[in-house]
Amino acid sequence: MRGNHPTLGPSLALKEWYNLSMAFLDRVRSSLPRSLSVKISPPNPLSKRTTLRCGGHAPLLELESPEEAGQALEALRAHQIPFYILGRGSNLIVADGELDLLFLTVRNQGAPRVDPEGRVVFSADQALPGALAWCHANGWLGLEWAAGIPGTMGGAVRMNAGTRGGEIKDNRPIARVLSAGEDRWKAGAELGLAYRHSALSAGDLVWECALALKKAEGGAVEEARREVASYLKKRNDTQPLDQPSFGSTFANPSGDSAGRLIEAAGLKGRTRGGAMVSPKHANFVVNTGSATARDVVDLIREVREAVERAHGIVLRTEVCFAGFQKDPLA
């Protein structure tokens, strides 16, 4: 995958970027069956599709049915086209530069429904805040842990999203997973949900998921709404929600808090380029307005190394990386 070319003049860099990007786009288009009617957008700025608001350019493929998603996945694998499945980009760093990487987005947009077993089924592109609002409007409880998480249901399954109030694993999810040549529902050990982790591979696309929720009785919904509002207020008071970030940077080590360790190492307010360790919450790396992906990665590495020196603990990131040729933190 290509990166930026700082030694090139602006006009030459732009011309090279256009030619190389179009070549990859042509390769993508030629790999897909002509009978497959899908939308492929030319290279887009991924900074507009991630909550961190930085990253390079890459084409986007929108998938609107499980049938076309399955065909596309099979064709991309057969032609060795690198791709990345993109939700709302809320837990993601995309490399800088022009990327030979196709981003896949689900455009299912189906309304939540209740299946014959009484589980609530959500499409993969359903935003978690909207899912929680739907649950309360329709008398369902059990998704309150998702309050304030900006991601999608598909991403929540892939990363076993959660907060201190719970995680999606608690809802005993089953997920419809598509991959090259396969379309089936998975649950339990096949999903392999653990702390901010699942057993799903990079080529697995979650199309929808069904959750075990509870029908509310009496004034339970109103009580749940009050608790959520109280939690969101506390979150707003203690986290830098007014600045671009991907949320928590590091997973909490057993029995401790990543934020506490980072703050104790004297790293609040530390900067690299346009990236900064938030003075409000040390486990948030924020984009002050001009951060590149390299700024963010360099700052994360610096923080991790400083915490290891200070406390003897190696923090594990909760963040996903896309478009890097190798592990950017190695």
At the topology level of CATH, where does 240-322 sit? 3.90.78
| Contact in structure between 51 and 148 (CB atoms under 8 Å) | no
Question: Which of 53, 88, 176, 196 is an active site residue?
Answer: 196
pLDDT of amino acid 36: 86
d(CA 94, CA 17): 17
Does the structure show a pLDDT above 50 at 12?
A: no
Residue 83: other Cβ atoms inside 10 A: 21
Residues 49, 248, 294, 304: which is the catalytic one? Answer: 248
Sequence-distant (≥ 6) Cβ neighbours of residue 326 within 8 angstroms: none
Quick check: is 16 catalytic?
no
C-alpha to C-alpha distance for 56 and 197, rounded to whole angstroms:
26
Domain ranges in the chain with CATH number 3.30.465.10: 113-215
User: What residue spans in the chain does CATH classification 3.90.78.10 cover?
Assistant: 240-322
Which residues of the chain are in CATH 3.30.43.10 domains? 10-106
**Architecture field, domain 113-215:** 2-Layer Sandwich (3.30)
Match 């994360």 to its residue by tokens. Answer: 300
User: Is the pLDDT reported for residue 192 higher than 60?
Assistant: yes
Lowest-pLDDT range of 36-40, 181-185, 281-285: 36-40
- Tens of pLDDT, residues 131-183: 999 999 999 999 999 999 999 999 999 999 998 889 999 999 999 999 988 99
The Cα–Cα gap between 297 and 304 comes to 11
Cα 98 to chain centroid distance, Å, stands at 20
In 3D, which of 142, 146, 99 has the Cα closest to residue 126?
A: 146
- CA-closest candidate to residue 61, choices 101, 95, 88: 101
Assess whether 257 carries a catalytic annotation. Answer: no
Does 90 participate in catalysis according to the annotation? no
CATH number for the domain formed by residue range(s) 10-106: 3.30.43.10
pTM summary value: 0.89
Top-confidence residue, 47 or 42 = 47
From 148, 149, 145, select the one nearest 173 (Cα to Cα). 145
The model's confidence at residue 39, banded by pLDDT at 50, 70 and 90, is confident
